[in-house]
Amino acid sequence: MTTAVRPWVDDPFAEAMRTGRGPLWLRGADGSRRPLEVDRWCGPAAGADHSLLLRCLDSAEPALDIGCGPGRLVAELLALGVPALGVDVTRAAVARTTGLGGLALCRSVFDRLPGEGRWGTALLADGNLGIGGDPDALLHRSARLLGPGGRLLVEVEPRPADERLTVRVEGPDGRLGPPFGWARLDADALARRAAPAGLAEVERWSSHGRAFVALRRPER
């Protein structure tokens, strides 16, 4: 019996998480390439990251970093005194997070997770709104993870975008991982999809060329 090849696990992304270096790209079915910022993700929190961290610090509620990657946000939140947990499907990314002193689980956001329905803040940074290629399902799942009044802090595309696509991770040697679904949304597209998930937009902001939206689950 053959084992299915998994994106982010059996592709160049996992190797990049082990080495802490890129370059990597998401290659579309049409041949287009979009860079993945591996070097930034593997470095310390910087630039626009601080705008996310400050909002987590303001609430002081436990934070869940969905698709935490190498863990810079989880580690920095813990250093700031904010309880934080990362989840990621890539074992090498989880190992890198724990190596920084962070806490992380090797799981999908759609798996059973600790504290479901009680998280004060959840993060979808670094393009992770694209996870699964189905933003509606991801937003509904994220809403269920939050406690009443909890916030979902989402990084969105800074330019108009509302698309689902099939992509593969491409390494520097041209090696391609398996195809998988991905999504890209701007702030307006996110706001349209958030309401059916029971999430209301409460803030938009930009920092260092990156764009973000804060959504809130109702108190009741």
**What is the mean pLDDT of the segment spanning 147-176?**
96
Q: Which CATH number fits domain 45-168+182-216: 3.40.50.150, 3.40.630.30, 1.50.10.100, 2.40.50.100?
A: 3.40.50.150
Q: E-strand spans in 94-179? A: 104-106, 119-124, 146-156, 162-170
Give the pLDDT confidence of 64-102 residue by residue, as tens digits.
999 999 999 999 999 999 999 999 999 999 999 999 999
**What is the mean pLDDT of the segment spanning 106-110?**
97
User: pLDDT class for 5, splitting at 50, 70, 90?
Assistant: confident
Whether pLDDT at 144 is above 70: yes
**CA-to-CA distance for 35 and 54, rounded, in angstroms?**
27
What is the structure's pLDDT at 3? 64
User: pLDDT class for 143, splitting at 50, 70, 90?
Assistant: very high
Q: Pairing relation of β-strands 162-170 and 24-28?
A: antiparallel
Q: How far is CA 72 from the centre of its chain?
A: 12
Query: Minimal CA–CA distance to 42: which of 65, 71, 75, 14?
Result: 71
